[in-house]
């Protein structure tokens, strides 16, 4: 009797899992954001509560760019990124994000219906706990950036704390892609307001694009310094878009910006 009950429970569990997988696959197959500009408009309305400044002219349908921002939280950042993507001009979706795989694996039903996995390049955690892009994904990102008008979002800090501007936790990937493809970085700031003890994005602001200059022939150590300095420059430009009190480690952003420019030898 007990063996029969265990068998029945196992079969029932398997059937539930298969049913959930079929429902999940069905939701993902809709991919509404790919099919309809109207669906993108509805998604824009669904993310109410986030004000987006007018999209800069240098993000029109012919321009390829990399958006870099602060990182208040995984869910809030992606919510803001999706809303920006819905605001970009054009009939087709033009924005993809480099983000943690949980954005896909833990997506809500509405996100699955919108086909969120089609708009994310996932980073995976190594054994040492660091998030890295697999070589296959790097190739896909580079191919994506080859197409005129495509826009990509990356955070330039890896941890979420406060409003996500951490001087000791820089990510240089955006600068690397910018140099590789000779496309500009665009600073983007997520202004937040605390609700129930957590920051919620209420406004998205844009700064002037940063055309990353190619360095002269330098050694490995100088190259690392160059990438870090450029990333700090971009971080300063993001911080300047945020109100005082939300700049994290970059409250004295003007001083840090002056130092970054001095080290890079730019005005």
Which CATH number belongs to the domain containing residue 225 in this structure? Answer: 3.40.1130
Helix (H, G, I), strand (E, B) or coil at 52: strand
Residue 1 within a domain? no
Residue 6 within a domain? no
Q: Which domain holds residue 259?
A: 20-264
DSSP state at residue 92: S
pLDDT at residue 13, rounded to an integer: 52
When the pLDDT of each residue in the chain is averaged and rounded to a whole number, the result is: 79
Residue 3 within a domain? no
Structural domain count of the chain: 1
pLDDT exceeds 60 at position 23? no
The rounded Cα 79 to chain-centroid distance in angstroms is 10
pLDDT at residue 113, rounded to an integer: 63
Nearest to 198 by CA among 101, 74, 84, 28: 74
Mean pLDDT of 161-182: 84
Structure tokens at 45: 């309305």
Residue 10 within a domain? no
Nearest to 201 by CA among 209, 212, 191, 211: 191
pLDDT at residue 74, rounded to an integer: 79
Residue 239 within a domain? yes
Q: What span, in angstroms and rounded, lies between the C-alpha atoms of 60 and 65?
A: 10
Between residues 86 and 221, which one has the greater pLDDT? Answer: 86
Mean pLDDT of 256-264: 88
Q: How many CA atoms lie within 13 A of 88 on its CB side?
A: 28
Helices (H), 47-181: 74-87, 102-105, 109-114, 135-145, 173-181
pLDDT at residue 1, rounded to an integer: 53
Confidence at 139, pLDDT banded by 50, 70, 90: very high
pLDDT at residue 123, rounded to an integer: 82
Which residues are 210's β-sheet partners?
185
Mean pLDDT of 145-150: 94
Residue 12 within a domain? no
Residue 145 within a domain? yes
Contact 29, 113 (CB under 8 A): no
0.85 surpassed by pTM = no
Lowest mean per-residue pLDDT among 28-32, 53-57, 59-63, 128-132: 28-32
Confidence at 29, pLDDT banded by 50, 70, 90: very low
Residue 175 within a domain? yes
Label the pairing between strands 151-155 and 95-99. Answer: parallel
Mean pLDDT of 7-30: 46
Nearest to 137 by CA among 157, 156, 155, 117: 117
Beta strands in the chain (DSSP E): 51-52, 65-69, 95-99, 120-122, 124-125, 131-132, 151-155, 185-195, 198-206
pLDDT at residue 239, rounded to an integer: 93
pLDDT exceeds 50 at position 14? no
Lowest mean per-residue pLDDT among 22-31, 67-76, 103-112: 22-31
């Amino acid at each position: 009797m007990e063996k029969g009950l265990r068998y029945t429970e196992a079969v029932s569990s398997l059937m539930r899992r298969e049913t959930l997988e079929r429902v999940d696959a069905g939701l993902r197959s809709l991919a509404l954001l790919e099919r309809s500009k109207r669906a993108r408009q509805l998604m824009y309305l669904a993310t109410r509560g986030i004000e987006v400044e007018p999209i800069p002219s240098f993000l029109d349908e012919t321009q390829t760019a990399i958006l870099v921002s602060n990182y208040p939280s995984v869910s809030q950042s992606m919510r803001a990124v999706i809303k920006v993507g819905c605001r970009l001009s054009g009939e087709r979706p033009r924005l993809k994000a480099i983000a943690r795989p949980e954005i896909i694996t833990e997506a809500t039903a509405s996100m699955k219906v919108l086909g969120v996995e089609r708009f994310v390049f996932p980073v995976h955690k190594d054994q040492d706990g660091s998030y890295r892009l697999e070589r296959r994904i790097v190739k896909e990102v580079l191919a994506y950036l080859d197409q005129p008008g495509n826009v990509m979002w990356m955070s330039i800090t890896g941890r979420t704390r406060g409003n996500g501007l951490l001087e000791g936790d820089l990510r240089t990937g955006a600068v690397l892609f910018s140099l590789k493809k000779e496309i500009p970085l665009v600073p983007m700031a997520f202004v937040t307001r605390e609700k129930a003890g957590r920051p919620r994005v209420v406004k998205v602001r844009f700064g002037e694009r940063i055309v990353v200059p190619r360095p002269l022939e330098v050694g490995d150590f100088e190259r690392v310094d160059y990438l870090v300095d450029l990333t700090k420059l971009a971080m300063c430009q993001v911080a300047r878009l945020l109100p005082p009190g939300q700049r994290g480690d970059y409250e004295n952003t003007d001083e840090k910006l002056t130092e970054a420019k001095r080290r890079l030898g730019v005005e």
